[in-house]
Each structure stands twice: as structure tokens, then as C-alpha cells.
Amino acid sequence: MAVLLAGLGVALAAVAVGAVAPRRQRALYANALTALAGVLVGTAAIAALVTGTTPHAHTGALLPLSGASLRLDALGASLEVTVALVVTAAALFSIGYAHGASASRPAVALQAAFALGVLLVPAAGDAVTFLGAWEAMAVTSLALLLVEHDRPAARSAALWYGAMTQAGAAAITLGLLILVAAAHTTSFLGIAAADVRGPAAVVAFVATVAGFASKAGAVPLHVWLPRAHPEASTPVSAMMSGAMTALGLYGIARVDLGILTAIGRWWWVGVLVVAAASALYGALHAATATDLKRLLAYSTIDAMGLGLIGLAAAGELRAGGAPQAAATLVVGALILLCAHGAYKTLLFLAAGLVERATGTRNLDLLGGLAGTMPRTSSLVALAVASAVGVPLGAGFVGEWLEIEGLVAGLARRDPGGVAATLLGLVALALASGLTAVAMVKLLGIGFLGRPRSEGARGAREPHGIVSVALALPALATLALGIVPGPALAVADRAVTSLGGMRASALHGSLGGIGVAASASALRPLALLAGLVAATLVLRALARAGAHRIRRTAAWACGRRELSARMQYTATSFAEPVQRVFADVLRPDVDVTLTHEDESRDIERVLAYQSSVADAVESGLYRPLVRGADALGRRARALANGSVHRYLAYGLLALLAVLVVLR
């Protein structure tokens, strides 16, 4: 506990340094302290997992009535390791990246405060501490969006994010207050022991799931995410995507799976439907996006949807009498969250380097970066392999375990449960395919081929501390993909801390993972050894026959040389997917054709433009905003300047509060 408290204290010191330090030293000192805080908190979490202890502390000096309580059990520690990794990498990256508005006093102090908030959430031991840390995380991330408030896009993103995050926080507060009132304690352990049931449990479940799902970007509560992530600075985007969204699913695991154990299975089926829609919707928009950071934002919605599929299916299976399959699904979801935190942080940090080196995030204007930025391109390829879910990638392990759990759920004789499990399997398969399209587009169009702009042609590889920052999530991604056994043991221990769960039918070691229920196994170290051996054999054969190799220019379809106009752009690559899912995406396509003056039969310029708006935003939220605006305009008549009327309003509000309390 001393190391955890020291880490949180260092994070608080980073906030103070960012607020008062001189401009030249501000970013260096504050971000160095934030990185140190991440290392200390991560060390405390790893120590708790290795020793099997649960550090805890309580003080009545910080918060009124209940005080502040910290408790780092296996579930919180497993997420804390991921959060600490993301915070450390983002802070180190900021040392070499901060400039302009992102190096201002408010930006540096707020980024350190945001890091403190996300580090506090998994360590909170009671409802009051949790809500305080959650609100600190939400408010500081909202303020960070407004650092460059002179840009209309940033102000719009902040408005959407502010509305959604505060609505979600209100729902979480309502649900936790209901549980606290029913259990007569604020401690998570005490609330779980009270075993709240009946209508109070149902209302608390719906409220908390809605609030946590909005933070995780679940459809239709996702509209803030593709707006906020591209407008935030690169390290803030990395923390929002790699850590903050994962904490939304952590809240569902902590409260709805770990405390509300008596919830009926059909409530979880409803969550499963939302999860499937989120995974498919996010993957589909990621496959058609051309803005690099917007693609990554929708990919986050997709990944959180896959994690939510695991948690929702686990809740349904536990209620249906299959606790071991449910445990396997939760293990898969937790490993998926850890993998996503590592590879998505790497992708966002790399996207920031690409934007600074080329001056654009538009994939249609990139290309050829593998030649000008080879180190960054290699790391992006590693992250893409993990996101797609290929073997030896970090993302593969979590998805494979979720599939194992869902397949085990098909053995039941309950038709409704089998149908729900099939929904999860189909959604996971379709979302994985669309994710592959999006990530192949990102790597193939953005980094391979020939450069399609002067910015891409003149890009240069960065050096210094940013390289170390990218190396941290890259190493974590490699470790989780090649040696997943320790992560499995950690996640399995975290599952047993949830109510109604028992250890899964999994066993792991440094060599791989085995599933006793299906007699299947994953041995990535053996696969890696085979790939290395095959590569060495092929290189030896190539060297032996090197004298027979003839080098010549690639065939260019009869042309003398290849050019960037001969390769796919991101728009053209995504056009077949966009055409197939036109009813869902509703793309806005504009084709402009200009002819030569001498003849109408000769085309001079053909311009094709395509944009895809968010159908949920335009079809659901825009009408609600217009209705609220019209209602507000009519409500102006209530404020006529009369003091007597205002006193009457206050009296009516007081009476309403008293009636509710009674």
C-alpha cells in the first residue's frame, strides 16, 4: 500500500508542478513525475497480484461523512497494470511531444490530473471514492478538450463529450446511491455482502450499465468518442482510448457482475445485443474512415464492444447455470482490455508522430511512410497485427478465449440461451473481419506503397524520448501475445473475486494456455520458434541460390514507371464495404466530371468525394437537440424577472425533494 500511496502522491505533485513550474521546465518535470507515478502504481499492482494480497487504506480526512477508501484487489490490480502502462507511455511521449497549447500551464497540469484520476478509479474501495475519482477523470479530460478552444471542432467535441459524460456520471451516481441505500454502507465489499435484490437491483443495474457503457463508447451512447479522440492532443487521446474507455467495462465488471449477482439473465441478453451492435458499428465505421485518428476512435468502439460481449455473455451464462464458461469469458474480456490498452496506445502515439511529420491525418494523402519512417511503421505493423487478432498478436489471446467461452455456452439445452450465445459468436466473427479491413487499410494505404503528398514524401523518423514511449506499449504487446500464461493467471484470479464466479477451466504457463473443457491449447512460444526456424531455412536457401537471382524493375502494365496514382487510396479501398453497407452508413457521395473544351467525349478531371456521417448522431441525437432547443426557447417565458415567481419555483422544488425523500 505504501508504494501505491507514493505513486498517487507523485501524481498529485505532478499536477502542482504543471501548474506552477516555468514554461521551459514545465512539460519535462510534470510529465517525468507522471511517468514515475505510473511506474510506482503499476509496481504496486503487480506486487499485489504476485503476492495475492489486497492492499487497502482508509482516511476520514479527505471526504466528508464516508471518508476516502482505497482497496486494490485482483480485479482492480489487473486493470491498474494496464492503466499504469498507458499513463507512463503517454507521459514519456509528452516530454518530447508537448509544444504550443499542449505545453501551456493548464494543459500540462490537467493532463497530470487526468492521469491521477484514471489511476485512482481501479483502486477505489467504496462508492464515494469511486465517484470522486470518476468525476475527476471525466472533468479533467473534458477540460483537456478545451485547451484549443479557439477551434470550432474542439468546442463542438467538448459540448458532445460534456453532455454524454455528465449524463453517464449522473446515471452511475443514481445506481450507486440506490445500492448504498439498500446495503447501508458505501464499501463495495459491504454492498456485495448485502446481496441487493428486487426492483432496486434492477434500477441500479440499468443505471450503472448505461453510465459505464457510455464511457466505454457503447452504441448508441458513443457519439462523443469519434469527436473527442481526434480533437484531443495525442497523449490525451492515448489515455482516453487505452485507459479511460477500459474503465467503463471495469465498472460493469466491478458493479454489475461483481455486486448485482441476482440480476436475471434476460437483462444481460439486452446488454449483449448492445455489445454486438457496438462491435459491428464501430468496426464498420473504422473500415470506411479516412481520418487516421477517427479510424482509431471507431476501432476503440469496436474493441470495447468485443469486451462487452464477453462480460454480457458471462452474466447470461452465470445466471443460466454455466459459471465455468462465464469465467472463461470474463478472463477473455480482461485480457482483451489489457491487449487493447497496449496496442491502441501504440497506435495513437504513432498517429501523433505521423501527423507531426507529414502535417496531415488523411490516409488518402499518406503512403510510403515505411521508407521514410521505418521504425514507426514497424511498430504500427505490430499493433495492427494485434488489433486484427492474428496468432502471436496480443488481441488474438482475448478473442480466442471469448470464442472458447461462447462455444462452451452452446452445450446448454436452453434455446434462448443458445440463441444469445450464437449472437455473440456471429457478432465477434463479423466485427473481426471488418476490423481486419480497417487495419489493413491503415497499414497498407498509410504506410506502404508510394507517398501521395509532399508531407508524406518528406516525413522523417523522430528520435529521443518518444522512441522510448513507443517501445513500452510495443514490448507489452509482444509479451502478451507471445507469453500470455502469466496474464491468464492474473485474470483468472480476478474472476474469482467476482460474485458467483469460480475459476475457469483454463491453465496457463510461460509456454502457453490450455482449455481443459475443450482439450484445445495455444502455444505461441512453439509457434514463434517454428516461424523463426522456417525463416532461417528460407534465408539459407536464398543465400545458397543468390547467384541465380536476377533483379529487374517491376512490371508497370506497359508504363515506364509506377506512380502514386496507380495505387489505392483509403477512400477507394473502403468503397466496396461502403457500397455493401450503404443502408447502414448512408454515405454522401459526390462525383464531379469536367470535360475538355474541344470535346464533350474527352474527360479532363474526374473528382470523387465520399463522406460518412454517424447515422446514430444524425438520426437520434440531432432531433433530440433540436427538440430541447425549441423547448428551451419556449421556457424563457418562465424567467420574467419576478422575484415572487422565483420564490414559488424554489418552494415547489423543495416540496418535490421532500416528497421523493419521504
626-636 tens-digit pLDDT: 888 888 888 88
Written as one letter, the residue type at 123 is: A
Q: Which residues have C-beta within 8 Å of that of residue 195, sequence separation ≥ 6?
A: 261, 262
Under 8 Å between Cβ of 389 and 395: yes
Question: Cell numbers at residue 347, please?
Answer: 497506435
Give me the residue label for grid cell 466528508.
64
Give me the residue label for grid cell 482492480.
76
Written as one letter, the residue type at 43 is: T
What is the three-class DSSP state of 643? Answer: helix
Mean pLDDT of 185-212: 90
Dihedral sign (CA 280, 283, 285, 288): negative
pLDDT digits (tens, 9 = 90+) for 67-124: 788 899 889 999 999 999 999 999 999 888 877 666 788 888 999 999 999 999 999 9
Question: Cell numbers at residue 428, please?
Answer: 465477434
What is the rounded CA–CA span in Å between residue 188 and residue 130? 10
Beta bridge partners of 606: 593
Which of the pair, 604 or 536, is modelled with greater confidence?
536
**pLDDT band at residue 294, thresholds of 50, 70 and 90?**
very high
Task: Indicate the domain borders of the chain.
Answer: 265-473+562-580, 615-661
What is the rounded CA–CA span in Å between residue 310 and residue 63? 35
Written as one letter, the residue type at 480 is: L
Beta pairing class for 512-515 and 520-522: antiparallel
Written as one letter, the residue type at 377 is: S
What pLDDT does 194 receive? 86
**pLDDT band at residue 553, thresholds of 50, 70 and 90?**
confident
Predicted model pTM: 0.90
What is the three-class DSSP state of 188? Answer: helix
Under 8 Å between Cβ of 214 and 172: no
What is the rounded CA–CA span in Å between residue 10 and residue 150? 32
3-state SS, one letter per residue, for 116-147: HHHHHHHHECEHHHHHHHHHHHHHHHHHHHCC
What is the three-class DSSP state of 588? Answer: strand
Written as one letter, the residue type at 53 is: T
pLDDT digits (tens, 9 = 90+) for 356-397: 888 888 888 888 888 888 999 999 999 999 999 888 888 888
pLDDT digits (tens, 9 = 90+) for 557-602: 776 677 777 788 888 888 888 888 877 777 777 777 676 666 666 6
Give me the residue label for grid cell 499485489.
48
What is the rounded CA–CA span in Å between residue 421 and residue 314? 10
Under 8 Å between Cβ of 568 and 578: no
What is the Rg, in whole angstroms, of the alpha carbon atoms belonging to the chain?
26
Question: Cell numbers at residue 103, please?
Answer: 505545453
What is the three-class DSSP state of 362? Answer: strand
Under 8 Å between Cβ of 434 and 287: yes
